Amino acid sequence: LDDRYLQGVATLKHFLANSLEGIPNQPHLPSRHSINAKISLYDLASTYLVPFQETIQRGGAAGIMCSYNRVNGVPMCAHEHFLR
């Protein structure tokens, strides 16, 4: 094994505020692809971000997969504030 390279990593899913899967064959209902989670900055900081922060800082997770949804109108995979 070469210590310069990671042999395996933990990747956290789904960053951020994604707990809605939708109902099969019900396209008129919200799903993880269409939902816009409207969350206050306080709730983001005190509830939603904490598990990711702890798992990275204390657990050593090396990757994050963004979620499909939007948070406060911005798609998470394009959210510059949270993906820096």
Pairing of β 74-75 and β 70-71: antiparallel
pTM of the model: 0.75
At residue 65, what are phi and psi to the nearest 5 degrees?
A: -105, 125
Q: Running DSSP on this structure, what letter comes out for residue 46? A: I
Query: Residues 66-75: pLDDT tens digits?
Result: 998 999 999 9
Name the percent of the chain lying above pLDDT 70. Answer: 96
Residue 31 pLDDT greater than 80, yes or no? no
Asked whether 25 and 77 are in contact (CB, 8 A), the reply is: no
Asked whether 59 and 10 are in contact (CB, 8 A), the reply is: yes
